[in-house]
Chain A
Amino acid sequence: MDPSRITLRKFRPTDADDLFSWAGDDQVTRYLRWKTLESKQEALTFIEEVCMPHPWRRSICIDDCSVGFISVFSGSGEDRCRADIGYAVAVEFWGQGIASKAVEMAIPQVFQDFPELVRLQAYVDVENKASHRVLEKAGFSKEGLLRKYFYLKGRIKDLVVYSILSKDESI
């Protein structure tokens, strides 16, 4: 895939059909807290009520059509030096380095948009090997395995924690 076709931008109401096509897919939402979307109407509501007001959420686009998302949540107080990143991509674009490219593109933007940020981290299900590879290709370091860390869709999860520091990425 020609990398110049991959862009990040804020979500728009006109993305509803595209959003529904990947966020309506259980395979894509499997490791997300997102409930799988069930209609285009739900997709539009989700864009307007959740994606657009979100402090930092971007659509991963190919030729300006939404094929996935990246979100960043920053901490507060003594945790404001760190933020969590999450992402997903439509199944038809798995295995082509698209998520990695999107995450790589997001990193400098995130460190710029959150001036107090020093650490960008991700918690990934121990079973979700493809997602481990996304982060490794994007330059994150694996730091450890956190046992029984939280619940996702009713099951308690062992997670791998990855991070990239603002000083790592300014090479």
Chain B
Amino acid sequence: MENDYSDITFRLLDLSDADDFMEWYSDEKVSEFCSWDTFTSKQAAMQYVADNVIPHPWYKAICLKNKPIGSISVTPFSGYDICRAELGYVLGSKYWGKGIVTTAVKMAAASVFVEWPHLERLEAVVAVENMGSQRVLEKAGFTREGVLRKYYLLKGKPKDAVIFSLLSTDPQVNYLMYD
């Protein structure tokens, strides 16, 4: 029987989702390009979620048929940079390659551009080796703006990163996905 990966919804992530989020927090394939190191205990992952996810201004669980399989966040800047926010996302590796994150990114973009009228630019910074993540953004209609050499430290090493952006005025934004 063919699996259906189209039932994608967002909700807030909760500490009671620990069994679900442990699936991606404990996965080396997932942590490779993330700022955090693979978690080996549920306690540690719950602490990370309590410190970083729960207080975050815009952080959602990506749910497939109501089960959290990953997460997506939009982190706003402030002051002169208030027109800008940074997108991040993570998905359990067994769900990779099915267009799930592309759908989630499109949904998230529509939501934040409506919820934050001052937001003009959604950007994402992706390590050059992370081809899967670059394809997500291209499919979601982001513009690839350039490669920033040795831009940030990933696990202590300077990394070249591709920067992508989506503007509130870009025709690729599908406001009909706003929920």
Binding site for B on A (CB under 8 A): 33, 78-82, 118-119, 121, 141, 143-152, 156, 161, 163, 165
Residues in B whose Cβ lies below 8 Å from that of A165: 149-150
Residues in B whose Cβ lies below 8 Å from that of A150: 80-81, 83-84
Residues in B whose Cβ lies below 8 Å from that of A141: 149
B115 beta carbon closer than 8 Å to chain A: no
Asked if residues B150 and A81 are in contact (CB atoms below 8 Å), the reply is yes
Q: When chains A and B are docked, how far (Å) is the Cα of A68 from the Cα of B150?
A: 29
Asked if residues B158 and A149 are in contact (CB atoms below 8 Å), the reply is no
Asked if residues B163 and A146 are in contact (CB atoms below 8 Å), the reply is yes
Interface pairs (7), CB distance under 8 Å: A78-B153, A79-B153, A81-B153, A147-B165, A148-B165, A151-B82, A163-B149
Contact of B150 (CB < 8 Å), options: A119, A145, A161:
A119
Closest to B169 in A: A148
Contact of A33 (CB < 8 Å), options: B80, B84, B121, B123:
B80
Closest to B123 in A: A146
Asked if residues B145 and A145 are in contact (CB atoms below 8 Å), the reply is yes
Q: When chains A and B are docked, how far (Å) is the Cα of A125 from the Cα of B81?
A: 15
